[in-house]
Amino acid sequence: NDEYLEPSDYRTTCPWKGEAHYYDVVVNGDRKEDTAWYYPDPSDEASEIKDHVAFYTSEVDVAE
Burial class (CB in 10 A: 0-12, 13-18, 19+), 39: buried
Number of domains making up the chain = 1
Q: Is residue 62 part of a domain?
A: no
Residue range(s) defining the domain that contains residue 17:
5-55
Residue 19 lies in a domain: yes
Q: What is the pTM of this model?
A: 0.88
Q: Which residues of the chain have pLDDT under 50?
A: none
In a domain, 46, yes or no: yes
Q: What's the order of all strands across the beta sheet hosting 5-14? A: 5-14, 18-27, 30-38, 54-55
Report if residue 61 sits inside a domain.
Answer: no
CA distance 19 to 60: 23
Q: Do 33 and 24 contact (CB within 8 A), yes or no?
A: yes
Would you say residue 16 lies in a domain?
A: yes
Given this model, what pLDDT does residue 62 score? 73
